[in-house]
């Protein structure tokens, strides 16, 4: 059994360093992308305070639906299953390939409210061969919860996972 519990007194940079170390330990020898996303979603939930949702949306290129994001493993309340590329915070990250840090989701044009409790959001694309393959999505019930340091930490995690999910 794994017991990855961070010390609550850690500063943000150290918290993300330990999160990445834990994610590396859990995913380095596991070839199954879903298993890796599930474990990392659980790790994020343990390591990052003040969240009400943490998880993944995967890019789907299904011919029947077109290119869209499809819900992956997560921790939190039930979520939107499909998000068109370019729509909402997750869709904007998938379309641009750039991190989206939104202090107040209600001011974001086209925001998709899967959980009415969410006030701020951080979405980081996971890139493989310069293509977005997924996004990591964090929601918080606190306005302006996420900092540039949170974005850098989650971007490090996304780079680690790029060939593991």
CATH of the domain at 94: 3.30.450.40
Looking at the structure of the chain, the number of domains it has is 1
- pLDDT for res 2: 67
For the cut 60, the answer to whether the pLDDT of residue 145 exceeds it is yes
Give domain status of residue 5, yes or no: no
- pLDDT for res 117: 82
Give domain status of residue 90, yes or no: yes
- pLDDT for res 137: 98
Give domain status of residue 135, yes or no: yes
Range 125-137 average pLDDT: 97
For the cut 90, the answer to whether the pLDDT of residue 3 exceeds it is no
Task: Give the range of the structural domain holding residue 139, as residue numbers without chain letter.
Answer: 12-161
| CA pair distance 61, 65, nearest whole angstrom | 8
Give domain status of residue 54, yes or no: yes
Q: What percent of the chain has pLDDT over 90?
A: 81
Structure tokens at 42: 């659980």
Model confidence over 35-81: pLDDT tens digits?
Answer: 999 999 999 999 999 999 999 999 997 666 668 999 999 999 999 99
Confidence of residue 110 (pLDDT cuts 50, 70, 90): confident
- pLDDT for res 62: 66
- pTM of the prediction? 0.94
Give domain status of residue 3, yes or no: no
Confidence of residue 114 (pLDDT cuts 50, 70, 90): confident
DSSP structure string for 19-82: HHHHHHHHHTT---HHHHHHHHHHHHHHHSSS-SEEEEEEEE--TTT-SEEEEEEEEES---SE
Give domain status of residue 102, yes or no: yes
Confidence of residue 133 (pLDDT cuts 50, 70, 90): very high
Comparing 15 with 61, the larger pLDDT belongs to: 15
Give domain status of residue 125, yes or no: yes
- pLDDT for res 150: 98
Give domain status of residue 1, yes or no: no
- The average confidence (pLDDT) of the chain is 93
- pLDDT for res 63: 61
- pLDDT for res 75: 97
């Amino acid at each position: 059994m794994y017991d990855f519990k961070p010390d609550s007194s850690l500063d943000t940079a150290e918290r993300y360093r330990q999160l990445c170390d834990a994610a590396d330990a859990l995913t380095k020898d596991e070839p199954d992308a879903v298993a890796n996303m599930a474990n990392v979603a659980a790790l994020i939930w343990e390591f990052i305070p003040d969240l009400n949702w943490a998880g993944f949306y995967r890019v789907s290129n299904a011919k029947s639906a077109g290119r869209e994001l499809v819900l992956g493993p997560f921790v939190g309340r039930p979520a939107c299953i499909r998000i068109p590329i370019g729509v909402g915070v997750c869709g904007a990250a998938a379309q641009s390939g750039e991190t989206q840090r939104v202090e107040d989701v209600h001011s974001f044009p086209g925001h998709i409210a899967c959980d009415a409790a969410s006030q701020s959001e951080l979405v980081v694309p996971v890139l493989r061969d310069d293509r977005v393959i997924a996004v990591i999505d964090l929601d918080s019930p606190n306005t302006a919860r996420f900092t540039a340091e949170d974005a850098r930490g989650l971007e490090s995690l996304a780079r680690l996972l790029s060939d593991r999910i």
